Amino acid sequence: MSTEQDLPESEFEAETESTNATAEQMDDVENAEVEETVISIEDLQKQLEEAKQKSQENWDKALRIQAEMENLKRRTQKDLENAHKFGLEKIAKELLNVIDSLELGIQAAAGDSPEVAKLREGSDLTLKQFQTVLKKFNIEALDPTGEPFNPEHHQAMSMQPSNEQAPNTVLNVFQKGYLLNGRLIRPAMVVVAKADQDKPEDGPIIDEKA
């Protein structure tokens, strides 16, 4: 006779129920482990996406900072270049007044006496020395007699009719203009040929009242 036959029916049922309960618990544990594994993978994927997004944000921020640094470097370099180029502008303007006085003095020294000739010679020498200094520091004189009027470099003091020059041509220069490294530091004061009233004007329109 088998063991099952030897056991009372109540004990056999209890043992069967215990075995079934143990199997169910094992199934529950396995299911829980599977669910935990699935959740862990999902968490890892989420964390990976967040890390990628953060990395991209940091990369974009680094690129912006680099671009700002490059812009700052270029601005600083430009400011330094302008300081070197145009740092002499104030003193140059003061020197121009001295040069104007020398040129006027030379023009006024029209006599033929030895004293006047000696004075004119000394003034000419001094003027040439000043012009050499101006050239050394890239200061260029504007003497536009006979050239077309340029409102960016010239200032019209008056207009006169002329049969020899085309309208808007500079007839005479009251005062020379000057450029420092290509930038205007003083416009040339000029007299401009007036257009014939019966003909249309060519070139820029000049306001005589300005």
More confident residue, 70 or 17: 70
Residues 179 and 182: their CA atoms lie apart, in Å, by 5
* pLDDT of 191 higher than 80: yes
> Which pLDDT tens digit goes with each residue over 118-148?
888 888 999 999 999 999 989 999 999 999 9
| Mean pLDDT rounded to a whole number for the chain | 79
The pLDDT of residue 150 is above 80:
yes
Please state which of the ranges 22-26, 32-36, 72-76 shows the lowest mean pLDDT.
32-36
DSSP string covering the chain: --HHHHS-HHHHHHHHHHHHHHHHHHHHHHHHHHHHHHHHHHHHHHHHHHHHHHHHHHHHHHHHHHHHHHHHHHHHHHHHHHHHHHTTHHHHHHHHHHHHHHHHHHHH----SHHHHHHHHHHHHHHHHHHHHHHHTTEEEE--TTSBP-TTTEEEEEEEE-SSS-TTBEEEEEE-EEEETTEEEEPEEEEEEEPPTTS---S----TT-
Domain boundaries, the chain: 8-84, 88-137, 138-210
Tokens for 183, please give them: 């930038």
Q: Say if CB 149 and CB 170 are below 8 A apart.
A: yes
Q: For residues 15 and 6, what is the distance between their CA atoms, to the nearest angstrom?
A: 14
pLDDT, mean of residues 98-107: 89
* Residue 16 confidence (pLDDT) above 80: no
CATH homologous superfamily of domain 138-210? Head domain of nucleotide exchange factor GrpE (2.30.22.10)
What's the predicted TM-score (pTM) here? 0.58
pLDDT at 72 over 50: yes
Indicate whether 56 pLDDT > 80. yes
